[in-house]
């Protein structure tokens, strides 16, 4: 593809994203799936332009507003090409030429914009802090309260790209051997600093064709998600419920920790996500995970399974702030925090019924908002006095054999503090004892 055609493709993606109907990764996957003739280098260039404009949207819009230009997919792409990729006005005049596979020619207003921002930098001292760190208006106040004087440092870490982390399936391979195998194929990877089963890969090499992937020895999973799965402390022989399992990444990690012994029920309300989970379960060679679709959080199955599980993980639906590096478009989508927290309360209350006496309930989100995290736990404990907090540091040391990198009763992970996605987790124990063994 020509450079002009690449920009035209990026503009198509940005225009569809601007409609707000689907997440950016879904839009990109569908676009490239329909155009399998596009080579890997072209895909990379198109994706870089697409995600770059999304990742820097607040700052691009600030520059556009300063020059009285309306923010739109095309103007954002033009500003990104200038302020981030360092192109010159003459370059873009050549690329936006109206040929068959090129974007339409520049308007006079666009030429004036390019001239005005020529030699300017993306970051400007006059920008408000929230603009510099790409924070949407609805999240500024709550996150300033949550982080205090660390607001800018913490949120800045969400602007860059996320690392590519792999979890080694210990039922199919040893981390050191898998690392050597990938290194031998020219893939630069290192052991993750916190997870004992993780690898961090440099760049974005294609993984689907690797033998390690095909035989189920590796799965793509952020190190933070790996840590959360390990801190569930799902031991061989346990009965475990993954109440909001999604595509099954955490269920697979827990199955490996259990050495395939015991039972995991991977629950979700979305049939599509569970279908993906089944594919991953088959590839990983796991036979102790049972996918189960629920009608809602109070499905009758929950009542029938009351008090039967040693561990129940609730990775609740949330604002997704902790995954902004991976999903930069999510910052700008409408969010109803009140509706989410109400749903989180209902899910937590229902899932708690599954836990046997002496068992544990682990509540987690990929959010940084206290309203979705500490506030939900406080409300739950006030209404459910037979649960108590288990300090995460004690579980971390017991499971991982090291000191927890964060202080306090709860787990708080973030790109700035741990180099992972943002996660919160609370570990709660149901009072009482289980005569069949110690699940505490």
Q: Give the tokens for residue 59.
A: 């700052």
pLDDT value of position 18: 86
Parent domain of 419 = 223-430
Report pLDDT digits (tens) over 81-126: 999 999 999 999 999 999 989 999 999 999 999 999 999 999 999 9
pLDDT value of position 436: 42
Both 244 and 373 in one domain: the answer is: yes
Q: Give the tokens for residue 194.
A: 């916190």
Both 329 and 363 in one domain: the answer is: yes
Total domains in the chain come to 3
Both 186 and 278 in one domain: the answer is: no
Pairing between β-strand 309-315 and β-strand 239-242 as defined by DSSP bridges: parallel
Regions in the chain scoring below 50 on pLDDT: 435-440
SS3 247: coil
Both 237 and 322 in one domain: the answer is: yes
Question: For residue 323, is it within any domain?
Answer: yes
DSSP label at residue 331: G
Closest to 78 in 3D by CA, of 59, 90, 92: 92
Question: For residue 143, is it within any domain?
Answer: no
- Active-site residue numbers? 366
Report pLDDT digits (tens) over 39-78: 989 999 999 999 999 999 999 999 999 999 999 999 999 9
Distance of alpha carbon 67 from the chain centroid: 34
Q: Which residues of 292-310 are buried (b: 16+ CB within 10 A; e: fewer)?
A: bebeebebeebeebeebbb
Question: For residue 147, is it within any domain?
Answer: no
Quote the pTM value.
Answer: 0.92
- Residue 423 and residue 109: Cα distance in Å, rounded? 44
pLDDT value of position 435: 45
Both 176 and 104 in one domain: the answer is: no
Both 253 and 189 in one domain: the answer is: no
Both 180 and 215 in one domain: the answer is: yes
Both 262 and 365 in one domain: the answer is: yes
Both 269 and 184 in one domain: the answer is: no
Domain boundary among 127, 153, 184: 127
Question: For residue 437, is it within any domain?
Answer: no
- Residue 283 and residue 281: Cα distance in Å, rounded? 6
Which residues make Cβ contacts (< 8 Å) with residue 255, sequence separation at least 6? 171, 264, 284, 286, 288, 289
CATH of the domain at 209: 3.30.70.1170
Both 215 and 228 in one domain: the answer is: no
Question: For residue 192, is it within any domain?
Answer: yes
- Residue 76 and residue 73: Cα distance in Å, rounded? 5
- Residue 89 and residue 81: Cα distance in Å, rounded? 10
Both 403 and 292 in one domain: the answer is: yes
CATH of the domain at 42: 1.10.940
Q: Give the tokens for residue 260.
A: 């395939």
Question: For residue 154, is it within any domain?
Answer: no
Question: For residue 148, is it within any domain?
Answer: no
Closest to 256 in 3D by CA, of 232, 240, 234: 234
Question: For residue 159, is it within any domain?
Answer: no
Both 250 and 312 in one domain: the answer is: yes
Helical H segments across 246-307, by residue range:
249-257, 271-284, 300-304
Helix axes 40-55, 73-83, angle to 10 degrees: 100
Closest to 331 in 3D by CA, of 86, 53, 4: 53
């Amino acid at each position: 593809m020509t450079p002009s055609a690449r920009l035209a493709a990026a503009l198509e993606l940005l225009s569809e994203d601007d409609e707000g109907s689907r997440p950016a990764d879904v839009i990109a996957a569908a676009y490239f799936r329909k155009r399998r003739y596009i080579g890997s280098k072209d895909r990379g260039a198109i994706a870089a332009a697409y995600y770059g404009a999304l990742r820097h949207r607040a700052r691009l819009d600030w520059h556009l507003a300063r020059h009285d230009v309306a923010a739109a997919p095309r103007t954002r792409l033009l500003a990104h090409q200038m302020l981030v990729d360092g192109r010159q006005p003459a370059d873009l005049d050549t690329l936006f030429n109206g040929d068959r596979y090129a974007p339409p020619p520049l308007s006079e207003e666009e030429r004036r914009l390019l001239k005005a921002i020529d030699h300017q930098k993306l970051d400007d001292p006059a920008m408000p802090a929230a603009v510099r760190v790409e924070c949407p208006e609805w999240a500024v106040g709550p996150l300033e309260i949550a982080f205090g004087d660390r607001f800018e440092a913490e949120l800045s870490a969400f602007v860059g790209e996320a690392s590519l982390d792999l979890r080694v399936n210990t039922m199919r391979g040893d981390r050191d051997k898998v690392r050597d195998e990938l290194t031998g194929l020219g893939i630069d990877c290192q052991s993750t600093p916190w997870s004992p089963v993780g690898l961090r890969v440099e760049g974005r090499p294609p993984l689907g064709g690797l033998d390690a992937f095909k035989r189920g020895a590796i799965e793509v999973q952020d190190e933070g998600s790996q840590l959360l799965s390990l801190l569930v402390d799902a031991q061989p022989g346990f009965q475990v419920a993954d109440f909001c399992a999604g595509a099954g990444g955490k269920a697979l990690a827990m199955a490996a920790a259990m050495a395939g012994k015991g039972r995991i029920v991977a629950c979700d309300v979305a049939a599509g996500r569970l279908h993906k989970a089944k594919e991953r379960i088959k590839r990983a060679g796991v036979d102790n995970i049972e996918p189960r679709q629920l009608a809602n959080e109070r499905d009758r199955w929950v009542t029938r399974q009351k008090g039967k599980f040693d561990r129940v993980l609730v990775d609740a639906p949330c604002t997704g702030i902790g995954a902004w590096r991976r999903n930069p478009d999510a910052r700008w989508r409408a969010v109803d925090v009140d509706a989410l927290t109400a749903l989180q309360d209902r899910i937590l209350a229902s899932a708690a019924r599954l836990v046997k006496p002496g068992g544990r309930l682990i509540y987690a989100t990929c959010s940084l908002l206290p309203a979705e995290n500490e506030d939900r736990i406080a409300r739950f404990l006030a209404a459910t006095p037979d649960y108590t907090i288990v300090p995460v540091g004690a579980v971390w040391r017991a499971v991982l054999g090291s000191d927890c990198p964060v202080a306090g009763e709860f787990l708080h992970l973030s790109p700035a503090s741990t180099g992972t996605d943002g996660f919160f987790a609370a570990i709660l124990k149901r009072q009482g004892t289980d005569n069949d063994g110690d699940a505490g």
